[in-house]
Amino acid sequence: MTGPRTGTIFDALADLIRRQGPLTFAQYMAFVLYDPAWGYYTSDHPRVGDRGDYYTSPAVHPVFGHLLARQAADIWAWLGRPDDFVIVDLGGGQGHLAASLLAGLARDWPQVYDRARYFLVDFEPNLRAAHRRLAEEPGDLVARVEFTTDLPAGPFRGLVIANEFFDALPVHIVVNRHGQLREVYVSWQDGLVEVEGELSDPGLATYFDRVGVRLPEGVRAEVCPAGPQWVRRVGQLLKAGLFLVIDYGYPAAELYSGRFPRGTLMCYFRGGYHGDPYRFPGTQDITAHVDFTGLALAGRECGLEVLGLITQAHFLRNLGIEDYLRALDRAVFDDPESYQRNRTLIRSLVQPGGLGSFKVLFLGRGVGRGLWGLRGVRPEEPTQ
Ligand X SMILES: C[S@@+](CC[C@H](N)C(=O)[O-])C[C@H]1O[C@@H](n2cnc3c(N)ncnc32)[C@H](O)[C@@H]1O
User: Under the rule (CB under 6 A), what is the footprint of ligand X?
Assistant: 41, 48, 56, 58-59, 91-93, 96-97, 121-123, 126, 163-165, 168
18, 10 in Cβ contact below 8 A? no
Count of C-beta atoms within a 10 Å radius of residue 177: 12
192, 202 in Cβ contact below 8 A? no
Nearer Cβ to ligand X (68/79): 68
Nearer Cβ to ligand X (91/364): 91
Minimum distance from residue 196 beta carbon to ligand X (Å) = 27
Minimum distance from residue 267 beta carbon to ligand X (Å) = 12
50, 57 in Cβ contact below 8 A? no
Q: From residue 38, give the alpha-carbon distance in Å to each of 155, 260, 280.
A: 35, 30, 12
Minimum distance from residue 268 beta carbon to ligand X (Å) = 9
Q: Is the dihedral of CA 106, 111, 115, 118 positive or negative?
A: negative
Minimum distance from residue 366 beta carbon to ligand X (Å) = 25
Coil, strand or helix: which one is 168? helix
- Please tell me what DSSP assigns to residue 48: B
Instruction: Select from 179, 217, 178, 181 the least CA-distant residue to 197.
Output: 181
Nearer Cβ to ligand X (13/30): 30
Minimum distance from residue 244 beta carbon to ligand X (Å) = 12
Minimum distance from residue 239 beta carbon to ligand X (Å) = 22
Nearer Cβ to ligand X (224/367): 224
Residue type, 70: R
The secondary structure element, H or E, covering residue 65 is helix 63-78
Nearer Cβ to ligand X (105/219): 105
Nearer Cβ to ligand X (49/82): 49
Strand ranges in the chain using DSSP code E only, listed in sequence order: 23-24, 85-90, 116-121, 145-148, 156-163, 172-177, 180-188, 192-197, 220-223, 238-247, 249-250, 266-269, 272-274, 285-287, 290-291, 305-311, 359-365
Nearer Cβ to ligand X (166/256): 166
